[in-house]
Structure 1
Amino acid sequence: MALVGTVGLWLLYMTSVVVTLSHGGALTDAGYLIGTVVFLVSVAALTFSSSMYLLARVGALPRLAAHRRARRADIDERFDRDDLSVLALLPSYGEDPAYVRMALWSVSLQEVPGLRVVLLLDDPPSDAPEIVDRLARTRAIIDEIRLELSGPLELARDALDRTGTDSAAEARGAVAAAYHTAARWIRSRADVEPRDGHVEEFFVERVLGALADELAAVAAALDEADHDGDEALPPARVRSLAHRLVRIFSAEVAVFERKHFREPSHEPTKAANLNAYLALVGGVRELHDLDGVPHIVDVPACDVVITLDADSMLLPEYAARLVYALEQPAHERVGVIQTPYSAYRGRRSSLERLAGATTDVQHLVHQGLTAFDATFWVGANAVIRWALLEDLRAVETVDGREVVRFIRGRTVIEDTESSIDVIANGWSLLNYPERLSYSSTPPDFGTLAVQRRRWANGGLLVLPALWRTAASRRASGHPMRGSELLLRANYLGSIAWVTTALIVLLTVVPLNGELVSFTLMLMALPYFIEMAHDLRVLGYRRRDIFGVYGLNLLLVAVNIAGTLGSIAQAFTGQRVAFVRTPKQGERTPAGALLIVAPLIIAGGAMVVAIRSIQGGLWIPAAFAVFTALCVGAAVIRLIGIRAAVSDLWNGWLEWIWVPVERRAVTMTEATTPAWRRVLDDGVIEPVRA
């Protein structure tokens, strides 16, 4: 009803405007006509994106309601065959060891057979003391996990052995005791974990605590089954439960640093980091370090690859449920399955809370994309079938050497870009309808601007690949459904055209204020009502919809910068450098322009309001006042007066603080020994004006 109402109101609005123009003298005024057309196109762009959100909900809500979890017994029976090998890759560059540690622990405790976890440490060799210390602490995590897992693994294996030698009752008691001990061990680890922030709290409660509760529940169930006799629980099921406990603690953990070797590509992207290791899977290679010393690298083959960002975490059942779902006959051509990540609960700031709300709402949108076969890979986590990676494998020659690529890195949104490659090769992607992965949300506006600018850069560059894929499928007799094409196009381009449309609405309204009618305002109502409802269901407040609107207005300049980056890359062919989102520490300055932009929007909105009131246009005036209030509240609440003033002041200083180049060195100075110049003339530094 919301979708149909929105489209119907838009048709009514467009019809009324066209009729009004045709009966008036506006067609003779070229300036007025151009402004009107631009305004109507902007309204159409905004209506299209809001309609795509409502369409996604049409697919998501029934899909979520119909979801039924697979039985644990079925999952255990499948994994007991031990005919799977799972490789988990965690790329990391410049990350805080504390975040890397939590991410590594969350993936190392996943319950899948043949699990091998590899930390892809991508920092280049350095002599800087702080970097050396950070890398040493990061590498030490590998040894910590290996050592800590060895105890419970030995206990689990002993219980598994007893299921083959002891009586049914004794075996059942041994397995129950092992589960009890494992639960206590995990709780003891949770008790000593730091709880410095909401991310650490999440790790303790939702990763370690949830796993301990699960193991304790199984132990209690085994104790209860023991009272019902041997017939209540067959020995085969007891052995399966023992096998499950072994899987939880049997991960092999390793680290690989491609920039310590000559042969792998050193391209500074996450895609290149992943590709460098994936190219080694299933073989034995000789790699030479930077000093030319050869090293034999043996990487076993695998059936499934899990990727996880270093600032993300997986809940204990993530891999078991997703790998099992991937194994189902109905998903034979599913190449990528994931759970689009959610935001950690318990945020540090209002901005982090609202930014997390937009992330959580996107989880619902992604479920709708899957309902219409329009899924996109969200790179924070994924389970990838190795057969798909083999199909994506491409060999290129770069600087005279062969480089193997599985994941394209032509843009900074390599996950979105690779989604088109996946469907072009006849595979599909699937969003599992549960929240099993979580990731960090920027705590301040400067950090959020870094992240969202990267997200806004690249979608336009991928759109041509979508059109080519759609044309190819149509030519092969398997065309995309209209809903899939529209949803994919909106996903890739909405940031660009929605941002542009918002700017047009805020600048063309003074020229065509009479176009802002009651019908136009009513057209946006279903979108805001439904999103407010979704926020409430997700644990937020309905009135947070106003904060989300203000946040989006704050990000207008950020989105423009990302869109212009895409356009520049399209014309120059030069890829925009990847900028990592800062994870913690002091506040990240946003830059003066990003502070000035929302102030200009608020000021312009007030000017529009005053002019509209003077012209008796009350609806445009109300819209302008509402916009100004939302922007002003967002600046105060989400950025902060002190932070905004600081960024403006620092921007002013950077603008007027111009370094003067060092003067040229004379021939006499060039032939004078450096030590004598220092002693006689002193150290000459550049002068700043």
Structure 2
Amino acid sequence: MYLVARQGALLRFSQHRRVPRGELDRHFHSYNKSITTLVPSYAEEPAVVRKTLWSVALQEFTNLHVVLLVDDDPYPEDPDILAKLEETRGLALEIQQSLEHPLRMAQDFRVLFERQREAGASPAQILATTIAAYDAAAVWLEEMATAERIDDHVDEFFVDSVIMGLARELRLTLLALNAAAAQNDSPHSDRLEEFHLRLERIFSVRMHTFERKKYANLSQAVNKAMNLNAYISLMGQKWLVDNRGDVEVLRAVSPTQETTDMDQVLDIPDSEYLLTLDADSLLLRDYCLRLVYFLESEENSRVAVTQTPYSSFRGAPTRIERLAGATTDIQHILHQGKTLYNATFWVGANAVIRKQALVDICQTTTVGGYEIHTYIQDRTVIEDTESSIDLGTHGWTLSNYPERLSYSATPPDFGSLVVQRRRWANGGLLILPKFGRQIGERKRRNERIRLREVLLRVNYMASIAWASLGLIFLLAYPYDGRLLSPLIFVAALPYFIAMGSDLRDCGHRFSDVFRIYGFNLILLPVNMAGVLKSTEQAFTGEKIPFVRTPKVRNRTASPGLYVAIPYLIVFFSIFTLWRDFQDRNWGNVAFAALNTVLALYAIRAYIGFKNSVVDMALGLVNWLFVPPKKAKDATVSYPVATPENTDWSTLLYQGDRRLDRDLRGTDDRRKRIGVK
């Protein structure tokens, strides 16, 4: 499947032709459609979110609306957490205000350009105005880049590729305009108008922050999918913030309804397109422009989602981050090949989506008396994969754009990598039956279904399960020459050679193919844990809780068991080496020696011997320590309320909540209701 997807990627790369800059300017000259960027954020570092928001705010698009979906507890009691939350809340306004100056400059230059054109000024004068506009915009970006603080490789990428990348592109246009002036020539005035409109598109953006957990009638499920769904369900309508005791709910405002307090009204605009972006991802300057242009081509009218599978930031300081980045860069290639065979999966880090497609797959349920709209399924923690199947069932397709236009962080240590990869290993098996139903539905529509599409999709969803089981068999079963032919190794050579070549083309080393093998050895318990969790959910129906990947500078501790098992693999490989050496089973000796060396290298390079001891000791302590249970009172007494200190509106709205107090405790509720 690797070789099939790789072959498809090579074909697509060879056929791809980048849309010329002039064609993009022509298409978006009088463009009036809009795109809403949704950036879900939960317990993120404000500095990380800030870079993401800036990369979106500088996208060249006419009607760009950026919404930071903060999913933290809106009323934290910890002052440090509150300070961090307030900083995050202020990012949208801070960026919006920072862009007012370059936007005003671009608008002033355009007004001057229009006046000169109407007054019949010479082409040289009009061209000089355009040159001055581009020079001012480039200088502003360069000054911003100079003022940025650079602490790590992500900061360096942000300054060099996002801010200065845009500045360099403007400088390139400036070079061409100056060359035209030096040759006593000039582009047509209509073309110069496109240049001015381009500057306004770059610096014009509307930015807001939205917190769904403030409103009781929106889903409170702890996952990224429902954070996105909550905002999408509100788009295209005005909502009145209705205070009902200790909670707030959103009530739809009818077109004929008059509202006196506009501060209590949320006007959420609709959009033809949605851009979803993880809070630790960065977009290059023309991401929106090129992907929306792609969607608006006639042959792509049924494409629901297009994306550029993210690549890793270069220059990572840790070995494990660099190797995780290598596997990420390889996936960019494989996803391109999947598109050739109609086997594309939505990769949730970034994507441009037709909102109408999400409306088609929307499901509505009632929770606590409120209607909850689900566009992106949250049944599993790989919500993007399941939504890909839903879209295909409704006749939509997905496509990967064959350029690297998005970049995202990779886990900096083994502990955070465990969280990420355990989440990725969950849910694939649960989605397979839904894919079977999709095939049946498409056959009823007389659609052609190619075998390679089916194989690639099944491999994507289930390969972690069978690859992990196969690796356990290879490690544990005492096979000999009767079961293992040397031809097996020969048959595997094209795979390893192709992967090594792809790694080198992505800027990594050919030898990383061996490091990836050792990397997969120590990830074996993590992958198996994800597979077992999926099996558990299949039998119990209980959702697996969403756990975000930690993005902190300090090391994240790993679960002790996930650290101990790689050592067991090493010890068992040494035992196998000794046993087969005694039996003169030289094939097994070579295989066991390879496993021993690569697993030991992976432990030292990606976990660390000292960190291993610490994590296993912490795991043992956590396993031995059991917090004492607090004895429950036989009867539960409630404070006596007086008319003077009772929050009457909450009592009228919530009714009798004593059962809720019994289950959750009374302290927080007493504070919020106001009972002394």
Scaled by the length of structure 2, the TM-score of the pair is 0.89
**Helix, strand or coil at the partner of 1:163:** helix
Please state if 1:248 is matched with 2:248: no
- What does residue 456 of structure 2 align with? 487
Q: Deviation per CA, 1:534-564, whole angstroms, max 9, x where unpaired? A: 1111111111111000000110000011111
Deviation at 1:427, TM superposition (A): 0.9
Which of the numbers 75, 98, 114 marks the counterpart of 1:164?
114
Identify if the C-alpha distance between structure 1 residues 417 and 612 changes in structure 2 by more than 3 Å, giving closer, same or farther: same
Query: How far did residue 476 of structure 1 move?
Result: 2.3
* Structure 1 equivalent of residue 26 of structure 2: 77
- Deviation, structure 1 residue 512: 4.7
Comparing 154-163 and 314-323, the one that deviates more: 154-163
Show CA shifts across 1:417-464 (max 9, x none). 100011111111110001000000001111100000000001111111
Aligned to 2:57: 108
Match of 1:431 in 2: 400
Q: Cα offset for 1:666?
A: 11
* Structure 2 CA distance for aligned equivalents of residues 209 and 83 of structure 1: 28
**Residues 627-683 of structure 1 deviation map (CA, whole Å, 9 limit, x = unaligned):** 11110111111111111111122222223334444578899xx9xxxxxxxxxxxxx
The match for 1:617 is 585
1:139 aligns with 2:107: no
Residues 666/72 of structure 1: CA separation in 2 closer, same or farther (3 Å cut): closer
CA distance change for structure 1 residues 354 and 285 in 2, over 3 Å: closer, same or farther?
A: same
Measured in 2, the distance between the counterparts of 1:339 and 1:82 equals: 23
Give the distance between the partners of 1:461 and 1:660, measured in 2 at CA: 37
Pairing partner for 2:102 from 136, 141, 152: 152
- Of 389, 393, 396, the residue aligned with 1:420 is 389
Q: Is the 8 A contact 1:373 1:484 kept in 2?
A: yes
Residue of structure 2 in register with 1:378 after alignment: 347
Query: CA 1:625–1:393 in structure 2 vs 1: closer, same or farther (change >3 Å)?
Result: same
Residue of structure 2 aligned with 1:130, choices 72, 76, 80: 80
Counterpart secondary structure, 1:430? strand
Counterpart residue type for residue 71 of structure 2: D
Partners in 1 of 2:626 and 2:298 — Cα distance? 65
Aligned mate of 2:130, from 172, 175, 184 = 175
> What code does the residue aligned with 2:231 have?
Y
> Do the aligned partners of 1:100 and 1:138 also contact (CA within 8 Å) in 2?
yes
Quick one: distance in 2 between partners of 1:651 and 1:596? 10
What's the counterpart of residue 172 of structure 2? Answer: 217
- Tell me whether 1:365 sits opposite 2:334 in the alignment: yes
Amino acid in the other structure paired with 1:175 = T
**Aligned-residue offset at 1:281:** 1.2
Deviations 1:37-91 (A, max 9, x none): xxxxxxxxxxxxxxx0010011001211221110111111111112211111111
Alpha-carbon shift at residue 600 of structure 1 (Å): 1.1
Q: Which amino acid aligns with 1:313?
A: L
In 2, the alpha carbon distance for the partners of 1:614 and 1:282 equals 74
Which secondary structure state, in structure 1, belongs to the residue aligned with residue 208 of structure 2? strand
Name the amino acid aligned to 1:389: L
Gaps of 5+ in 1: 1-51, 671-689
The unaligned stretches of length 5 or more in structure 2 are 251-263, 639-676
8 Å contact 2:9–2:333 — kept in the other structure?
yes
Question: What is residue 216 of structure 2 aligned with on the other side?
Answer: 262
Work out which of the residue numbers 614, 617, 622 in structure 2 matches 1:646.
Answer: 614
1:616 to partner: Cα distance:
2.0
Tell me the CA shift for residue 210 of structure 1: 0.2
Q: State which of 234, 239, 252 in structure 1 corresponds to 2:188.
A: 234
Distance 2:95 2:136 in 1: 18
Offset of residue 267 of structure 1: 1.3
Secondary structure of the equivalent of 1:206? helix
Three-state SS of the structure 2 residue aligned to 1:426 is: coil
Asked if 1 retains the 8 angstrom alpha-carbon contact of 2:217 and 2:249, the reply is no
Q: From 205, 227, 230, give the equivalent of 1:276.
A: 230
Give the corresponding residue for 2:155: 200
What letter corresponds to residue 173 of structure 2 in structure 1? V
C-alpha separation between the residues in 1 aligned to 2:232 and 2:249?
22
Q: Is the Cα–Cα contact under 8 Å of residues 206 and 315 in structure 1 kept in the other structure?
A: yes
Cα separation, 2, equivalents of 1:237 and 1:590: 57
Query: Residues of 2 paired with 1:445 and 1:332: CA distance?
Result: 42
Are the equivalent residues in 2 in contact too, given 1:375–1:431 (CA < 8 A)?
A: yes
Kindly report the root-mean-square deviation, in angstroms, between the aligned alpha carbons of the 2 structures. 1.8
Whole-Å Cα distance in 2 between the matches of residues 662 and 216 of structure 1? 68
1:498 aligns with 2:467: yes
Q: Which amino acid aligns with 1:243?
A: L
1:191 aligns with 2:146: yes
The letter for the 2-side match of 1:105 is: W
- Matched residue of 1:374: which SS? coil
Asked if the contact 1:517/1:620 (under 8 Å) is kept, the reply is: no
1:291 Cα deviation after fit: 4.1
SS at match of 1:377: coil
Deviations 1:602-627 (A, max 9, x none): 11112222222222211111111111
Question: Aligned to 1:584, which of 547, 552, 555?
Answer: 552
- Whole-angstrom distance in 1 between the partners of 2:192 and 2:630: 78
Q: Deviations over 1:381-402 (max 9, x none)?
A: 0000122122122222223321
Q: Who is 1:20 aligned against?
A: none
The whole-number CA distance in structure 2 between the counterparts of 1:283 and 1:552 is 48
Aligned counterparts of 1:611 and 1:475: Cα–Cα separation in 2: 57
**Match for residue 313 of structure 1 among 257, 282, 288:** 282
Indicate which of 602, 605, 614 corresponds to 1:634: 602
Counterpart for residue 34 of structure 1: none
Seen in structure 2, the aligned counterparts of structure 1 residues 432 and 185 have a Cα distance that, compared at 3 Å, is same
CA contact (8 A) 2:344 2:399 kept: yes
Alignment partners' CA distance in 2, 1:498 and 1:487: 14
Q: Which amino acid aligns with 1:269?
A: N
Tell whether 2:35 aligns with 1:90. no
Establish whether residue 526 from structure 1 lines up as the match of residue 494 from structure 2. Answer: yes
Residues 138 and 171 in structure 2, CA contact (< 8 A), matched pair in contact too: yes
Give the letter for the 1:449 counterpart.
V
Q: Under a length normalisation based on structure 1, what TM-score does the superposition of the two structures give? A: 0.87
1:176, 1:220 within 8 Å by CA — same for their partners in 2? no
Residues 1:574 and 2:542 aligned together: yes
CA contact (8 A) 1:106 1:314 kept: yes
Secondary structure (helix, strand or coil) at the match of 2:114 reads coil
1: CA distance, partners of 2:476 / 2:92: 56
| Residue aligned with 2:200, SS | helix
Deviation at 1:130, TM superposition (A): 1.3
- Fraction of identical pairs, as percent: 46
CA contact (8 A) 2:106 2:196 kept: yes
Equivalent position SS for 1:164: helix
Q: Which residue matches 1:117?
A: 66
Cα distance, 1:531 vs structure 2: 0.4
> Aligned letter for 2:236?
G
Q: Secondary structure at the match of 1:267?
A: coil
1:300-340 deviation per Cα after TM superposition (whole angstroms, max 9, x unaligned):
22111111000000011111111111111121111101000
- 1:663/1:571 Cα in 2 relative to 1: closer, same or farther (>3 Å)? closer
Could you give the per-residue CA deviations for residues 110-130 of structure 1, whole angstroms, max 9, x where no partner exists? Answer: 001101111111112212111
Letter in 2 for 1:318: Y
Amino acid at match of 2:438: T
Change (3 A) 1:603 1:163: same
